[in-house]
Every structure is written in structure tokens, then in C-alpha cells.
Structure 1
């Protein structure tokens, strides 16, 4: 594998990763025909997603919505991309405890704090100034928006989205593919594929 990283998705998240100082970015892959040959934050769009197969750099999927990020990662895997090719990015100002683990493809932006014995899955996006405390588990493809705070021993399920400045009390779970709204205060377990919001958070609806 050659040195360097290709960002997948000419998105706002890609610009945030670049701005946060990711080293060795050689280009961006995006399926939008109008973006081919353009520059995003000074980095050229050098092809479409499937062009990853003809290159050797590591890959970082910079797509915000959890479901779309999962689909693109699966496309790449189905096309023959090795799971070992996915990079990890942690901004210089992110603080990660020595006993915590970060999975392949995950992104931690500025000011994120991960304390002791936490586990971050693969292709997780953690936006600026999130706090993830002891024994938390954030499963694959989850997204924590800016300012999220998790108490100890919280579990965030696969593909779940926790909105900006929301907080989750210790020992609780947010189920797979669920959504927690901005500023919500979660004081009870959130079941799978539901949307909760408010203070305290309550169910608003269910996902298809």
C-alpha cells in the first residue's frame, strides 16, 4: 500500500478533516460528475468512488449521514477493497485515553475527548467537542454531532445519530439506527429505530 490517504466524499466533513490537519491527503473521490477535476479545500477531486480499486492509498469515508456512509463502505468492500485500507483520523486536539480503542475508518474532530476503556467502532464520526467517558461503546457507523456528552457505560448502537449538544445519562443505550435530537437529555434507553428529543427526551416517531 502506498503512502497517502484518499478521502471518499467531497463533503463538508471532508473539509473539516482537511482543516483539522489530516496529513498525506492525496485526493478526493466523489461520484458527482460536476466535481471531477475541482478542488475541495485545496485538494483535487481525482475520480469516482470505484476508482479506489485502481489506487493504493488508504481510504477515509467522509460522508456525514450514517446510512449513506454505511452504503458507500459496503460498496467499496463488495468491490474488493480490503478492510485494512481504511484509515483512522484523530485531530491533533482530540484526547484519547491509552486504554480506549478506535476502529478503522473512524473520524474524531477537534476537541473530542475519550477517557478510559471506551470502544469506538469502525466508520464512526465524532464531531468537535464530544465527551465520551469510561466504558462507553460507540458502535460502527454511529455519528455523534458537536458537543455530545456521554456518561459512563453508555452504548450507542450501530448507525445511530446523536444530535448536537445532546447528553446521555450513564448506563443507558441508544439503539441501532435511532436518532436523538439536538439538545436532548436522554434519561432512559432509546429503542432501535426510534427518534427521541426534548428534555427529558421522549419518543417522537419510529424509522422505517
Structure 2
């Protein structure tokens, strides 16, 4: 099987995890990283070279792209970066670790990344540019919108709806039928029993709002 060339946008810790997932499979051939930090130019991340800033993505029109940016303090960051890149959906790769378990009929949007141990138990659609870190669990009738981040071991019971660019922290548990609003942030280990309004940060057991102030947006890497 011929591997397809792939550029990773972002050269931090998440890029290392995505790179490991890529190298565990046989579909993609990583050819370099792009990062706008001047200090990153010429660096290597696990043997893969940082070629330069994100504008170079337009110099490789035949190469697929995956965005490796996630930050609980800036849940809108991946969306802002994708919009700034201005690429059509067909330029984005979907990366699935070979040790993820997906039910037949699962549909993944462009640019979505599923790391090792992710489980999706029934057919459902996951949005574009979604990030599911190791051992995330999605169950029946869940709805995951574009640009959502789910950190390691986050679990969604049935019929959970997660709005665009929301961030679900490590080990968080979301009760069946609950809605998490767009750009909301759920803290590590939180147990969410009630609907979370857009832009709020909830934490604790049971989870309660910490702030009603929308989180800041990320305009650059």
C-alpha cells in the first residue's frame, strides 16, 4: 500500500502523539511539521523536521494536512487556525490509530484525529477536526460537533450532545442526554449531570460552573 504524504501543523506535544499514531498505521507518510514560532524553525520532533511557518502549507498543494493544536484555555484555537489556513476540506487527513475501535458505520469528518484506545460503540457521525485522545469513549446516539477536543479517558454516555469547539477534560464523565455548549470547558475528572451552557467552564463532582465568561480565542500558533 502506497502511503500518502502528510504535513502536521503544530510542533508541540500533541504533534508527537499524532505522529506516533501515524507511524503505527500504514496510510500516511509524515513529511514535516509546520509551526509559526520562530524558535521552532529547523527543529526536529521525534525525527521529523519543522519546515517553517504555517504559510508553507500552500507550497504543498498535493499533500494532506492535519492540525495538531489543542488547549483547554483556548478551546477555539484549532478552529481559528483552520480558518486562517483557508484550505478546502479535502486537503485535511483523518487520522485513526490502528488500536482505536470503531463500530461499523461510524463517519468521521475531515481533519479528525482518534488516538489509541478510542472506542465508538455504535454508528454515529463525529464532526470535522475533532480530537479524541487515548481511551475516549463515545456511546449510542452521541453527537460530537466540529473542533471538539476530548482529553484522555473522557466518557460520554448515550445521547450526549457536544457543541462546536467544546473541550472535555481528562477523565470527565458526561451523563446520558446532557448537552455541552459550544466552547464550553469541562474540567479534569468532572462528573457532568446537567446541561452546560456555551462558553462556561464547569468542574467538580458533581460539576458546577466556575465561570460564565467565554474563553479567549487563539489567533495564531
Q: Distance in 2 between matches of 1:170 and 1:10?
A: 36
Residues 15-24 or 113-122, more deviating: 15-24
- Select which of 50, 58, 68 maps to 2:64: 58
- SS of the equivalent of 1:25 reads strand
Aligned position for 2:11: 10
Aligned position for 2:33: 28
Aligned position for 2:106: 100
- SS of the equivalent of 1:34 reads helix
Matched, 1:109 2:115: yes
Q: Distance in 2 between matches of 1:184 and 1:16?
A: 24
- Select which of 172, 175, 183 maps to 1:166: 172
Q: Distance in 1 between matches of 2:202 and 2:88?
A: 36
Q: Distance in 2 between matches of 1:131 and 1:83?
A: 26
After the TM superposition, which parts of structure 1 deviate over 3 Å for at least 4 consecutive aligned residues? none
- SS of the equivalent of 1:20 reads helix
Q: Distance in 1 between matches of 2:141 and 2:108?
A: 13
Structure 2-normalised TM-score? 0.89
Q: Unmatched 5+ residue regions in structure 2?
A: 215-221
- Contact 1:118–1:132 (CA under 8 A) maintained in structure 2: no
Q: Distance in 1 between matches of 2:177 and 2:105?
A: 19
Q: Unmatched 5+ residue regions in structure 1?
A: none
Matched, 1:128 2:137: no
How many residues end up aligned between the 2 structures? Answer: 204
CA-atom RMSD in angstroms: 1.3
- Contact 2:164–2:182 (CA under 8 A) maintained in structure 1: yes
Structure 1-normalised TM-score? 0.94
